[in-house]
């Protein structure tokens, strides 16, 4: 075996350990009884330590040096080798003890957070969050010099390579300026039109689940390689050949479960479309979390909330739930599911105000990592930020700084990916509409196959061969252009 062959074998084994961790993580959120939390934290920590140890072994460094002295000529293998080096650089910057300590602290804090959020009791989780932040700062300080980045950018690099705070901040500042003008205009226009009629329940959970499975399969999810389960916070996990999506059900309103499943199906379709020839290799992975979010949002927001798709979906919902068909009319669904409102909860926000929630988190987590914001002061800083961005203040911490799992699970640097993904989704959809004849007509039939085929060729099948902006440039002819997102919002909400 050549040094590169040995590296491929090593990274395949590391990826397999990661797959085991992914399944344990899914189980912890979807199936595990509360009494298993402590042991699960140990299990995940040991697996993280094993994967880390395999990556930092001296033999890995030796093989990297030899392979780089005579790198493979094939572009995919050359890119794979570069990504291997990047992963090795990150791993060797972090002591194994720190990796395991972070995994344990994150797991422990996340379990405390569940109860603290339900009770709106930030004080109950603040000590555990303080430890998570302390360890995140320690990891960021170790990674920064190795990667040649600032501490916060080193954390961002773990979610979307090549994008730093200096890239994101002006995009977010410009969007804040757009929002200050566009939001009142959209609110006024909405107020001048008839309010939507909400479908009347109850909507039995079994009926909702059957509909979610039916529609996710229709838009491309193969359930011989997928599962749909329940969790407190909808997510997509698992592996490319065994994807796991979850949702939550409300018998009074099927909207959350259905749109949540369509969103998570977008993530799952991306995983299912990754290049099989480079499975369990760095270049065969998704191109980052902003790229991943673009795929969930191009399905949910760009395709499934479009006028064309709603023309198909309305009759399907009326047939499934029965009763008065008027609330399921496409025009009413459009007013219902594309309604602007200043709310406290990120995951319930409309697509115009959603970026404000992300901007708030981006600014706060930078301050936490820089040491400019103490954990104890987080609730007040959160409320001040919401007042400044949306003019509202959460009445309690459950609807404020306790609402998201991310920080309590150690995910700092992740939040910018949500809005970068939304912007990329608009840009990709505009390109797909230009490139795919009859795309709108297909959506009106409930057929996402033409869109999925274009995404397979231009996004999914590229794996991590290209960085975020290069991926967009290859697919759309330009790097990220936030104006495409603003144009999408203007067409949908300001006309």
Dihedral sign, CA of 404, 407, 411, 412?
A: positive
Q: pLDDT in tens for each of the 495 residues of the chain?
A: 999 999 999 999 999 999 999 999 999 989 999 899 899 989 999 999 999 999 999 999 999 999 999 999 999 999 999 999 999 999 999 999 999 999 999 999 999 999 999 999 999 999 999 999 999 999 999 999 999 999 999 999 999 999 999 999 999 999 999 999 999 999 999 999 999 999 999 999 999 999 999 999 999 999 999 999 999 888 999 999 999 999 999 999 999 999 999 999 999 999 999 999 999 999 999 999 999 999 999 999 999 999 999 999 999 999 999 999 999 999 999 999 999 999 999 989 999 999 999 999 999 999 999 999 999 999 999 999 999 999 999 999 999 999 999 999 999 999 999 999 999 999 999 999 999 999 999 999 999 999 999 999 999 999 999 999 999 999 999 999 999 999 999 999 999
The per-residue pLDDT for 75 is 97
**What letters, b where the CB count within 10 A reaches 16 and e where it falls short, cover 18-44?**
bbebbeebbebbbeeeeeebeebbebb
This prediction's pTM = 0.95
Two structure tokens written together for 316: 């399907």
3-state SS string over 51-103?
A: HHHHHHCHHHHHHHHHHHHCCCCCHHHHHHHHHHHHHHHHHHCCCHHHHHHHH
The per-residue pLDDT for 63 is 98
The per-residue pLDDT for 200 is 93
pLDDT digits (tens, 9 = 90+) for 297-341: 999 999 999 999 999 999 999 999 999 999 999 999 999 999 999
Contact 97, 48 (CB under 8 A): no
Which residues on adjacent β-strands are paired with residue 250?
A: 253
Q: 242 φ, ψ to 5°?
A: -150, 70
E strand or H helix at 247: strand 242-247
Number of H helices, E strands in the chain: 20, 3
DSSP character string of 299-327:
IIIIITTSHHHHHHHHHHHHHHH-S-SGG
How many residues are listed for the chain in this entry?
A: 495
Total Cβ atoms within 10 A of residue 360:
22
The per-residue pLDDT for 251 is 97
What is the C-alpha separation between 351 and 296, in angstroms, rounded? Answer: 13
Contact 15, 241 (CB under 8 A): no
Which residues on adjacent β-strands are paired with residue 244?
A: 227, 237
pLDDT digits (tens, 9 = 90+) for 362-408: 999 999 999 999 999 999 999 999 999 999 999 999 999 999 999 99
Which residues on adjacent β-strands are paired with residue 253?
A: 250
Q: Based on the residue annotation, tell me whether 264 is a catalytic residue of this protein.
A: yes
What is the C-alpha separation between 196 and 179, in angstroms, rounded? Answer: 23
Total Cβ atoms within 10 A of residue 426:
27
The per-residue pLDDT for 232 is 81
What is the C-alpha separation between 259 and 247, in angstroms, rounded? Answer: 9
Closest alpha carbon to 259 in 195, 349, 359: 349
**Distant-in-sequence, close-in-space partners of 199: CB < 8 Å, separation ≥ 6:** 254, 317, 321, 323, 324, 327, 328
* CATH 1.10.1370.30 placement within the chain: 160-495
Q: Looking at residue 245, what DSSP letter applies?
A: E
Task: Give the burial class of 480: count Cβ atoms within 10 A of its Cβ; 0-12 exposed, 13-18 middle, 19 or more buried.
Answer: buried
* Collapsed DSSP state (helix, strand, coil) of residue 394: coil
Closest alpha carbon to 243 in 278, 286, 204: 286
CATH of 160-495, picked from 3.30.70.270, 1.10.3720.10, 1.10.1370.30, 3.40.50.300, is 1.10.1370.30
Two structure tokens written together for 420: 């970068």
What is the C-alpha separation between 170 and 302, in angstroms, rounded? Answer: 24
Choice among 131, 264, 351, 365 that is catalytic: 264
């Amino acid at each position: 075996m050549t040094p590169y062959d040995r590296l491929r074998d090593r990274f395949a084994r590391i990826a397999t350990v990661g797959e085991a961790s992914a399944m344990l993580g899914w189980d912890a959120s979807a199936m595990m009884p509360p009494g298993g939390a402590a042991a699960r934290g140990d299990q995940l920590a040991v697996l993280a330590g094993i994967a880390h140890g395999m990556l930092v072994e001296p033999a890995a460094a030796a093989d990297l040096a030899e392979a780089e002295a005579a790198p493979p000529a094939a572009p995919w293998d050359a890119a794979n080798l570069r990504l291997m080096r990047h992963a090795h650089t990150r791993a060797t910057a972090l002591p194994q003890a720190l990796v395991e300590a972070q995994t344990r602290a994150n797991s422990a804090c996340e379990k405390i957070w569940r109860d603290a959020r339900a009770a709106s009791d930030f004080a109950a989780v603040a000590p555990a969050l303080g430890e998570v932040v302390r360890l995140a700062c320690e990891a960021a300080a170790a990674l920064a010099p190795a990667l040649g980045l600032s501490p916060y950018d080193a954390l961002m690099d773990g979610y979307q390579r090549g994008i730093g705070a200096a890239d994101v901040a002006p995009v977010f500042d410009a969007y804040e300026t757009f929002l200050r003008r566009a939001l009142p205009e959209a609110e006024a226009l909405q107020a001048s039109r008839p309010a939507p009629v909400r479908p009347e329940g109850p909507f039995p959970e079994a009926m909702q689940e059957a509909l979610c499975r039916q529609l996710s399969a229709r838009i491309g999810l193969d359930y011989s390689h997928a599962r749909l389960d329940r969790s407190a916070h909808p997510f997509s996990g698992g592996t490319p050949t065994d994807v796991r999506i979850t949702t939550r059900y409300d018998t009074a309103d099927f909207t959350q479960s259905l749109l949540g499943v369509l969103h998570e199906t977008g993530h799952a379709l991306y995983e299912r479309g990754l290049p099989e020839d480079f499975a369990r290799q760095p270049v065969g992975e998704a191109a980052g979390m902003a790229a991943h979010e673009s795929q969930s949002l191009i399905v949910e927001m760009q395709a499934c909330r479009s006028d064309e798709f709603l023309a198909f979906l309305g009759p399907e919902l009326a047939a499934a739930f029965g009763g008065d068909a008027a609330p399921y009319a496409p025009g009413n669904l459009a007013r219902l599911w594309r309604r602007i409102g200043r709310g406290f909860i990120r995951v319930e926000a409309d697509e115009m105000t959603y970026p404000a929630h992300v901007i708030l988190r981006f600014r706060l987590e930078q301050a936490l990592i820089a040491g400019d914001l103490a954990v104890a002061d987080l609730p007040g800083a959160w409320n001040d930020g919401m007042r400044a961005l949306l003019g509202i203040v959460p009445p309690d911490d459950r609807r404020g700084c306790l609402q998201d799992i991310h920080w309590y699970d150690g995910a700092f640097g992740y939040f910018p990916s949500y809005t970068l993904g939304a912007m990329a989704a608009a840009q990709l959809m505009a390109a797909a509409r230009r490139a795919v004849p009859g795309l709108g007509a297909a959506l009106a039939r409930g057929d996402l196959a033409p869109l999925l085929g274009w995404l397979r060729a231009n996004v999914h099948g590229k794996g991590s061969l290209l960085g975020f902006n290069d991926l967009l440039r290859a697919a759309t002819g330009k790097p990220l252009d936030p104006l495409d997102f603003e144009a999408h919002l203007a067409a949908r909400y300001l006309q």
